[in-house]
Structure 1
């Protein structure tokens, strides 16, 4: 398993370098997100057990990113997005390894499309007040639950909802609400909700990520970003990366390792 992780990380790093080069050439701003920030800050590279990466872009650059990477930009990697008709079962797009290259490298699959290696999320504005953010989070959670109903029967697709939310999703399915909307209808509604406020708002974040409203921060936490070492390159992370990581993973993130070391190779769950 350790050899598999190391090989996967080498390929992910190859993809990341390609993506960052294209982003820089097109003057698009990105930040590492979530556990990838942890890797850069704590390990100056990959978290030892991690088998995927996350990047986030301000909404305007995110829109340009999808258009740019929907073309044939690599002979090894491709971008899957519901907007392009891909059965990705997620609102946000993911970079995958092309099947020919995956098989050539002897890699397994981690979902029904093959092998996802980089999640790409938008950074959007959020309400300025705590009450407004609470209502915003409830609205988003409801829509995401509606969107997740369609994927309950899809095998080998990542589920990022916690058990309590999964029970709620199953209940919604039992009610038959999904017969009135398509999954893409829900994703389009989420898009309108997410992009309602621009990234000049006092609060911004990636609420479409796995940690929901915990991924909302005062704008200055992201700031312009700072460069940190990641393996052999420099990558951009939120300016106040210590506050960012403490908020997501706890005050002792730098000194402790989680009991649950997530791996998409072991935990094949259903996507949202």
Structure 2
């Protein structure tokens, strides 16, 4: 059985390869979510975390997908619905190639093999409170419609909470998925996410992530980012990372540990 430490070192290797290629192509990559927590609180990985999260502004995100859809590593590859991969997620994921996974005796955490890094776009959102409310309702409905197609996929990574999964299953039982495909939902989300590109006053964030509208912030929070130490490299995190982490994980994130320690591996979940 692979250790968390071994998995983290493989993720770090993948991140280093990604950052090297991204830097050559002028792509700015931020850490996101729990990976930001790791950089700020631990100077590296959160001790129990077995995946990573990265994010980039939409223009860089589109460049990233084009570049990493091609062969770029002996050990890793990127799965995306845009390439016809059965990923059942709007955003791409970096996976370990199957030959390398078996060589390293790594587990599987979904039907495609072993997913290690989620890749999310940082998109603009309305600057007004009422505008953001309509924005998140619209996106929430579409995300629920898309997730209907994921419910019965064996061993996929489901990012929705148990409460939301109950709502999604109710929608599935209505049979509405007969009238659309999952990729059509993702294409519609693309249009909504990209509609505000270039708006200077807009908020920004990774609303397509697991914490949904909690991941929307005033533009200055992400800003141009700042570099922090992460294991043996320096990585970009949101410029106002303290505000970012307090909104996502609470005012006492620096002094408390969560009761439920997230893991994509069933055998390693704590709490």
Structure 2 length-normalised TM: 0.96
> Secondary structure in 1 aligned to 2:3?
helix
Give distance in 2, aligned partners of 1:253 and 1:57.
24
> Secondary structure in 2 aligned to 1:95?
strand
Structure possessing the higher relative contact order (Cα contacts under 8 Å, 6 or more residues apart):
1
Give distance in 2, aligned partners of 1:193 and 1:244.
23
Structure 2 counterpart of 1:196: 195
Structure 2 counterpart of 1:242: 242
Question: How many residues are aligned here?
Answer: 267
**Structure 2 residue 228 is matched with structure 1 residue 228:** yes
Deviations 1:123-155 (A, max 9, x none): 110001111111111111100000011111111
Q: Runs of at least 4 residues of structure 1 off by over 6 A?
A: none
Q: Answer whether contact 2:203 2:216 (CA < 8 A) is retained.
A: yes
Structure 2 counterpart of 1:33: 32
**Structure 2 residue 116 is matched with structure 1 residue 120:** no
Deviation at 1:201, TM superposition (A): 4.0
Give distance in 2, aligned partners of 1:192 and 1:81.
17
Give distance in 2, aligned partners of 1:125 and 1:92.
16
Bigger Cα displacement from structure 2, 256-265 vs 149-158 = 149-158
Deviation at 1:267, TM superposition (A): 7.7
> Secondary structure in 1 aligned to 2:177?
helix
Q: Answer whether contact 1:125 1:201 (CA < 8 A) is retained.
A: no
Give distance in 2, aligned partners of 1:162 and 1:247.
18
Q: Answer whether contact 2:196 2:202 (CA < 8 A) is retained.
A: no
> Secondary structure in 2 aligned to 1:150?
coil
Structure 2 stretches lacking a partner, 5+ long: none
Give distance in 2, aligned partners of 1:87 and 1:95.
13
Deviations 1:142-171 (A, max 9, x none): 000000111111111111111221111111
Structure 1 stretches lacking a partner, 5+ long: none
Give distance in 2, aligned partners of 1:178 and 1:93.
22
Structure 2 counterpart of 1:183: 182
What's the C-alpha RMSD, in Å, of the aligned pairs?
1.2
Structure 2 counterpart of 1:20: 19
